[in-house]
Chain A
Amino acid sequence: MAEDLRTERKGRILAVRDLPTLPKVLEEVSKLVERPDSTTEQVAKLISMDQVLSAKVLKMVNSPVYGFPGRISSIGHALVLLGFNVLRSIIVSTSVFEVMTENMVGLWEHSLGCAMACGSVARMLKLKDAEEYAVAGLLHDLGKVVATVQLPDLKSEIEQTVAERDISYLEAERAVMGFGHDRINAWLADHWKLPANIKEGLSYHHKPHLAQLYPEMACVVHIGDFMARVFEYGFSGDVGVNYLQPEALKILKIRPADFEKLLDELSDQFVELADLRFT
């Protein structure tokens, strides 16, 4: 791919102004924020189910205007620091998808499923700040959403390539755009000054063994992504399950017995999650 085309596309990606989300989610969050008795915890819980709102909140709180860029990875902390006033402006500036395709809903559910699985893995391993692993899981496919919004003309070409050449969505992205959503994630994380642990989870979830700074984060997101596919919750763009990097299990010291325990626990949680209807 010609370097200038790549630079031009990167520019278009980073110029993203508004990311749309599902109408139902936005409606629920707006209602909660307007109620005088709502607590930060309630609102944080709801926002933690939506990748677009979560990304916007983290982008805002880590912006240099507030004076502590790259420090906040938790939605709850972000809401305490931003306040409901700023949150309202984020809600107002968020649009909804005018046309709801099945794929958009599918990606939304896949992200939520991945977030939940990441949280469970982190808690099982007794990692500090399990919530931050869930945040990285929620945002791991943000690059796909941004690409859809900013490079809409390439979206159908990617999907077509997946179907015709029987390759993964990531490989198709690289074939069509010249870069994958993992790379887009890294650009966005830098541009929005997201904390380094979140950035690593977002940009290395397909190659967790190569993560340098926060290998645990990358490995947890990798496994969360895998689990959401195993339980067939939502749709990531690929039919079937991705390759589970054995190194991820090794780095996290997950034994086969742990893995079974995890599968049991997640199967209950995915059943519960399936009862939630946001679409």
Chain B
Amino acid sequence: MPAAPLCAFTRTQKILVLSPDPELAALFAAAFTPAEAEVVVQTRGKGAIEALFTDPPDMLVVDAKLADIPGLDLVAMIKSENVYRQLPVALIMDESRLSPDIDWCAAEVDELLTRPMTAAMLRSRVTLALARATRSLDANPLTKLPGNTSIIGRIQDLIDRQEDFALAYADLDYFKSFNDKYGFSRGDEVLMMTARIIVNTVRAVGGPRAFVGHVGGDDFVYIMAIDRVEEACASVVASFDNIVPHFYDTEDRDRGFIQSVDREGNRRAFPLMAISIAVVFNRDGRLKHFGEASQTAMTLKKKAKENPKSCYVLDKRHG
């Protein structure tokens, strides 16, 4: 097995196993390399709870055979705390003990493992549960696009493999004043529209390997091939400028600006929203770390923002 983390995780995954069963511990040892998962096995449930709360793992596996506390009670205790709700929890039990009396609708487990179990099956199910938890936790709740963890993971992965790529950061100018004037739900409409334009354009120009993420708010990211990125940027800018006026009320649209309140509380006129895009390139493995890419992008973004109209700025140094 490779000495690398699982999936696109940037670090070793911590898995806490609460089970009196030495066979299960052995299966975990066979299923994962130490670089993939650091597996801690504790045989008692009650003693593990405090450690669990202060230093939560990436995944928790609870054995129904725990002697001191019923497995599902322990799961309920953890899941009732909002900060631990996203922790993926697997319950393991004997297949022969599965009965119609168990209320799975109320059981807040994310994965069920059954004995007899093999190392291969254990590896598959636990890996899937970890990846699924990351996906659903990370996805932007509005647009459902991958969020920060996936974005950083994707960029760092490309950097580590020294692949050439273009990384574009896009955000909206005057989005806040639009939100202030029209309210959050109208603002969400604009974000959904923007996401749709970026996804379609990037997929049409960049092909299936291109990636689009939603950092949050009005910040979006896309990654694609260097030679096609300018075409995609020009197309996103043109589509956005064509469509966004339709999200304003007719009077504001005809006027070409809206009256809203700025950060200091003064009433003033704001132009219609525009999209600014900054593009950073990684050629010949020049970038070493994700932070370099985002820092360069932020500098470029300032330049793009100087223009009140929609525009894109390419990193000249290696563009």
Contacts of A67 in B (CB 8 A): 142, 188-189, 192-193
Could you give, for residues 193-224 of chain B, a 1 whenever the CB lies within 8 Å of some chain A CB and a 0 otherwise?
Answer: 10011011101100000000000000000000
Q: Is A278 an interface residue (CB 8 A)?
A: no
Provided the pairs A81-B193, A84-B204 are in contact, do residues A71 and B199 lie with their beta carbons within 8 angstroms?
no
Whether B118 sits at the interface, judged by CB under 8 Å, is no
Kindly list chain B residues whose C-beta atoms are within 8 Å of the C-beta of A73. 246
- Report the nearest A residue to B191, measured CB to CB: A67
A83 to B242, Cβ gap below 8 A? no
Q: How far is the CA of A224 from the CA of B203 in the complex (A)?
A: 38
Contact with B along A62-93 (1 / 0, CB 8 A): 00001110011110110011111100000000
Residues of chain A within 8 A of B188, CB atoms compared: 67
Contact residue among A76, A81, A84 (Cβ-Cβ distance under 8 Å from B196):
A81
A81 nearest in chain B by CB position: B196
Pick from B201, B204, B246: contact of A71, CB below 8 A: B246
A80 touching B200, Cβ below 8 Å: yes
- How distant is the Cα of A68 from the Cα of B254 in the complex, in angstroms? 21
| B175 at the A interface (CB under 8 A) | no
Contacts of B52 in A (CB 8 A): none
Q: A74 CA to B199 CA in the complex, in Å?
A: 19
Known: A73-B246, A77-B246, A80-B239. A68 touches B204 (CB 8 A): no
Shortest C-beta distance, B212 to chain A (Å), equals 12
Q: How far is the CB of B260 from chain A (nearest CB, A)?
A: 20
- The dominant DSSP class at the A interface is helix
**Total of A-B residue pairs, C-beta within 8 Å:** 48
Q: Could you tell me if A66 and B204 are in contact, using CB atoms closer than 8 angstroms? A: no
Tell me, rounded to whole Å, the shortest Cβ–Cβ distance linking A227 to chain B: 26
Residue from B188, B197, B200, B247 having most chain A Cβ neighbours under 10 A: B200
Let me know if A68 and B192 touch, CB within 8 A.
yes
B203 and A83 within 8 A (CB): yes
Contact A81 B189 (CB under 8 A): no
CA gap between A74 and B142 in the complex, in Å? 24
Q: Which residues of B contact A83 (CB under 8 A)?
A: 196, 199-200, 203-204
Complex CA gap A85/B246 in Å reads 24
B243 in the interface (beta carbon within 8 A): yes
Contacts of A82 in B (CB 8 A): 196, 200
A–B complex contacts, Cβ < 8 Å, 18 sampled: A67-B192, A68-B189, A68-B193, A71-B189, A71-B246, A71-B247, A72-B243, A73-B246, A74-B246, A77-B239, A80-B201, A80-B239, A80-B242, A81-B197, A83-B203, A84-B204, A85-B203, A128-B254
Residue ranges of B at the interface with A (Cβ–Cβ < 8 Å): 142, 188-190, 192-193, 196-197, 199-201, 203-204, 239, 242-243, 246-247, 254
